[in-house]
Structure 1
Amino acid sequence: MNVMTTIDDIAVLHTRIVTGTGGGPEKTIFNSPRYMRGTGYRELACYLRPPDDPGFAVLRQRAAAKDCPLIEVDDASAFSLSSLRRLAAICREHDIRIWHGHDYKTNLFGVLLKPFVGFKLVTTVHGWVKHTSKTPLYYAVDRWTLPRHEQVIVVSADLYERCRASGVPENRLHLIENAIDTEDFRRTGPAALAAGRVGVPPGRLLIGAVGRLSGEKGFDLLIRAVATLIGEGHDLELWIAGDGEARDELERQAVATGYGDRIRLLGFQADTVALFENFDLFCLSSLREGLPNVVLEAMAMEVPVLATRCGGIEAFARDGTDMLTVPSDSADALAGGLRRLIEDAELRRQLADAARGRIEAEFSFRRRMERMAEVYELLW
């Protein structure tokens, strides 16, 4: 059955559970509907979130900015029959033909609803990078649900192997890495002249980091590394954008280094393009990752990248060509990698140029959506 020519506007429902301002998957989900128009697919997003969650206002704004239809479902408990009933009603109202889950809970809900609603099941596995006491439960749910999906998409090579080991047949398993809208993420001028660098002295190098403020991101190690380099006499400043449960602890750590005026926690920043314009360097200090959007964004914005070798980064990185990598879970390793970049302006330029070229050639969002449509075609 050729859906591209015989059926118009097959409805796809992207489903996700979220609290607060969300994370990396939103960059893909909210950007998808406008790129899929004209392919025979009509995409909507449906988010389960706690009632009256104040952080969700940011997600509403982000969805509206990308012209992504967004449906909200109050979801106050771990397993809610009322949420299931509401989701079933949404699927019938919008004639949903493809349920596209993005996490363990929406995968489970999709499997449970399919016999009653009759849609096809697709999921994107973004990876569990935040480990809590509930992580084993999440993995157990995924091991049960993933083999029951018609198609499973993963964003990194390590997740491909994990899903294959969990019983997902390879003929249903697809590696489609995250991608970037290269027109949105395009540098407009040198970092030193960026309007957002208010208060940064001329000649000082600004190191940037972006992500949820939680332990797996390794920001405590990055703060230690930058404090070491400042102590050696390097003229540096560190900006960390993001919010999360570790913010108070990280702020105390920054002050305790004695360089609190040069290690700043910015909180959540909606305009990441403007943020990246300011950075001379970008550092991913994570202990666990898939293939993070922030690395692709930094590369697209021609910001030289230092990243820890974790998760999807190991297979993705071309070390010494379009980024530098160092071992994870080591402040000394981060300091060493940053030191090398700080002291070699030509290396920074070469990495930035190569990174932009690679993103344009291999990681454009339009190409990602073409591959997604090809996966949807396999359902019929």
Structure 2
Amino acid sequence: MESKSKLKKIKVLYIITKSNFGGAQRYIYDIATNLNKEIYEPVVALGGTGDKHAPQGVLQHMLEEKQIRIVPVLHFMRDMSFSEDITAFFELVRIIKKEKPDVLHVTSSKAGGLGALAGRIARVPCIIFTSHGLAYDEVWRPQWQRVLIWISSWCTMLLSTKTIQISEDTCRRAQRMPFLAHKIELIHNGINPPQYLPRYEARTFLDSQHEMLSTPWIGTLAELTSNKNLGILIDALALLHTEGIPAHLWLIGDGEKRNGLIEQASRCGLLNFVHLPGYLTNASCFLQAFDVFVLPSRKEGLPYVLLEAGYASLPVVVSNIPGVKDIVTHKKNGLAVEADARTFATAIARLLLDSTLRTSLSKALYNHVSDSFSIERMVQKTSALYT
């Protein structure tokens, strides 16, 4: 009996709202696939791609390829819906009671709140919540929504055994919330160095007509959502063109803002200079096609794509916001500036016109990322909370 108990694996049930492939989904994938399988049994419960009864997304297929068992949550939606969210909550209670996990690890706002409460009802002994940024920081929301989100975030962290914050700023602020100081842990995201296509190969893949291989390329990898604030990049590109810098802008990814970005590029007369190739599998392999990487987000947790840009030895222009500042220090290993078109245009132009600055900043960013953001460290610190 004693030997059998020693062989029993620790079952970890992960819960996430959507199964498309953004930062939160990558986090779950990296943790679940890098756990020691002799000790842990990972299972992932996930919703579809965001809409009601939407099909499962890329995350499900990637997990199945790694032989990670998945459990669909049929009523998870991206947007708030009282009836669907209540139904999803009771669905989670049933799933948790059936799975009987030793550890429940929830991530993202909706899966976090509903999952932590369901876990308490199902009497899961260890509930871990990973916060990818404090959702009430979304300043574009009405004040009443931000107050409700603050209360919801606080309740989720209070219900959880431990909460992982992935940036220093959000960690400090979460620790100041009532009754939470002892529940908050700082664990940065980490990655393995990606495999990159050489610059010429990456450019010829993206520019199959070979019409712009020798021009300056500015680029990012992102979901095309309001939070990513990508419209300012098109306005910044227009300013660069007025200064005689004929750069091209690449926005690799997909999302609900795609058509609006195309319309904006058309209004600016930049349709031939703004490129939206859509979602690309292993998009990070194309990063070395860019001369400058840009990230103008309004809010971030700790962005994986910025770690990938660091490993690609790219100079970066980024928003000066929490999460990003854990990776980029202004003028030390990148340019962290206010997220408006003119400021971004000025910073991009500075890098494009100064090769010495590009080289020094990109080298410093590579050194910082490779020294401080390994996937082994992330997984080790996270799994330590499971026992």
Q: TM-score range by the shorter chain?
A: 0.7 to 0.9
1:206 to 193, 208, 217: 217
Report 1 or 2 for greater relative contact order, CA contacts < 8 Å, sequence distance ≥ 6: 1
Matched, 1:106 2:111: yes
Deviation at 1:336, TM superposition (A): 0.9
251-260 or 29-38, larger mean C-alpha shift: 29-38
Shift of residue 345, structure 1, vs aligned partner: 1.9
Give the structure-2-normalised TM-score.
0.86
The 8 Å contact of residues 46 and 73 in structure 2, kept in 1 or not, is answered as: yes
> Cα distance 1:290–1:118, how it changes in 2: closer, same or farther (>3 A)?
closer
Please state how far the C-alpha of 1:167 moved relative to its aligned partner: 2.4
Equivalent runs, 1:22-61 vs 2, <5 Å: 22-38=21-37, 40-49=39-48, 50-54=51-55, 56-61=56-61
C-alpha separation in 2, matches of 1:17 and 1:335: 36
Alignment of 1:182-201 (within 5 A): 182=193, 185-190=194-199, 194-198=203-207, 199-201=210-212
- Per the alignment, in what secondary structure is the counterpart of residue 22 of structure 2? coil
Q: What does residue 279 of structure 2 align with?
A: 268
* Aligned partner of residue 73 in structure 2, secondary structure: strand
| 1:211 to partner: Cα distance | 1.8
Q: Which of 242, 251, 265 lines up with 1:231 in the alignment?
A: 242
User: Relative to structure 1, is the Cα distance of residues 286 and 84 closer, same or farther in structure 2, using a 3 angstrom cutoff?
Assistant: closer
| Deviation at residue 275 of structure 1 after TM alignment | 2.9
Using the size of structure 1 for normalisation, the TM-score is 0.88
Give how far 1:367 is off.
1.3
Which digits, 9 at most, give the CA deviation of each residue in 1:133-157, with x for residues without a partner?
5554332211122122111101112
* 1:355 maps to amino acid: L
Stretches of 4+ aligned residues off by more than 6 angstroms: none
**Measured at CA, do residues 294 and 193 of structure 1 come closer, stay the same or move farther in structure 2, by a change above 3 Å?**
closer
Cα drift, residue 71 of structure 1: 1.6
Deviation at 1:249, TM superposition (A): 1.8
Given the superposition, is the C-alpha separation of residues 172 and 83 from structure 1 closer, same or farther in structure 2, using an over 3 Å criterion? Answer: same
Shift of 1:24: 0.9
What SS does the aligned partner of 1:283 have?
A: strand
- One-letter identity of the residue aligned with 1:303: L
2 CA distance for matches of 1:39 and 1:354? 38
**Offset of residue 120 of structure 1:** 1.4
Amino acid at match of 1:13: L
Q: Would you say 1:139 and 2:145 are equivalent positions?
A: no
The amino acid that maps onto 1:296 is L
> Is the Cα contact below 8 Å between 1:84 and 1:113 reproduced in 2?
no
Higher mean C-alpha deviation, range 189-198 or range 355-364 = 189-198
Partner of 1:283: 294
1:332 match: 342
User: Structure 2 counterpart of 1:48, which letter?
Assistant: G
Count of aligned residue pairs for this structure pair? 368
Measure the CA separation in 1 of the matches of 2:326 and 2:370. 19
Is 1:256 paired with 2:261?
A: no
SS in 1 for 2:205: coil
Structure 1, unpaired ranges of 5+ = none
Aligned to 1:125: 131
**What are the Cα deviations for residues 260-314 of structure 1, in whole angstroms up to 9, with x where unaligned?**
1011122223322233242221101122222211111111222221111012223
Query: Deviation at 1:38?
Result: 4.4
Please, which of 147, 160, 165 is the counterpart of residue 176 of structure 2? 165
Residue 342 of structure 1 corresponds to: 352
Identical aligned residues as a percent:
23
Q: Which amino acid aligns with 1:186?
A: Q
1:22 Cα deviation (Å)? Answer: 4.5
Three-state SS of the structure 1 residue aligned to 2:386 is helix
Return 365-374 or 6-15, whichever deviates more.
Answer: 6-15
Residue of structure 2 in register with 1:369 after alignment = 379
Distance 1:235 1:369, change over 3 A: same
Compute the displacement of 1:47 (Å): 0.9
CA, structure 1 residues 58+193, in 2 after alignment: closer, same or farther (shift >3 Å)? closer
- What secondary structure sits across from 1:167 in the alignment? coil
**In the TM superposition, what whole-angstrom CA distance separates every residue of 1:311-344 from its partner, at most 9, and x where no partner exists?**
222343222232221122x211101110111011
User: The residue matched to 1:376 in structure 2 has which SS?
Assistant: coil
CA–CA distance in 2 between the matches of 1:67 and 1:283? 35
Contact 1:147-1:167 within 8 A present in 2 as well: no
Secondary structure in structure 1 of the residue aligned to 2:241: helix
Distance (Å, rounded) in 1 between the aligned partners of 2:202 and 2:278: 23
Aligned partner of residue 255 in structure 2, secondary structure: coil
Tell me how far 1:6 sits from its aligned partner. Answer: 4.6
1:53 partner amino acid: A
Q: How does 1:68-79 map to 2 (within 5 A)?
A: 68-75=68-75, 77-78=81-82
* Contact 2:252 2:283 (8 Å CA) reproduced: no
State the 1:11 CA deviation: 0.8
Shift in CA distance, 82/256, structure 1 to aligned 2, threshold 3 Å: closer
Pick one of 345, 354, 369 that aligns with 1:359. Answer: 369
| RMSD over aligned Cα atoms | 2.5
Query: Secondary structure of the equivalent of 2:344?
Result: helix
Taking a change above 3 Å as real, the CA distance of residues 161 and 345 of structure 1, as seen in their structure-2 partners, is same
1:215 Cα shift? 2.6
Q: Could you tell me how far 1:254 is from its partner in structure 2?
A: 0.6
Report the alpha carbon displacement of residue 51 of structure 1 after superposing the two structures with TM. 4.8
SS in 2 for 1:60: helix
Alpha-carbon offset, residue 39 of structure 1: 6.5
Return the offset for 1:25.
0.8
2:57 match: secondary structure: helix
Within 1, Cα distance between the matches of 2:241 and 2:153?
Answer: 44
Instruction: Return the alpha-carbon distance in structure 2 between the equivalents of residues 294 and 265 of structure 1.
Output: 17
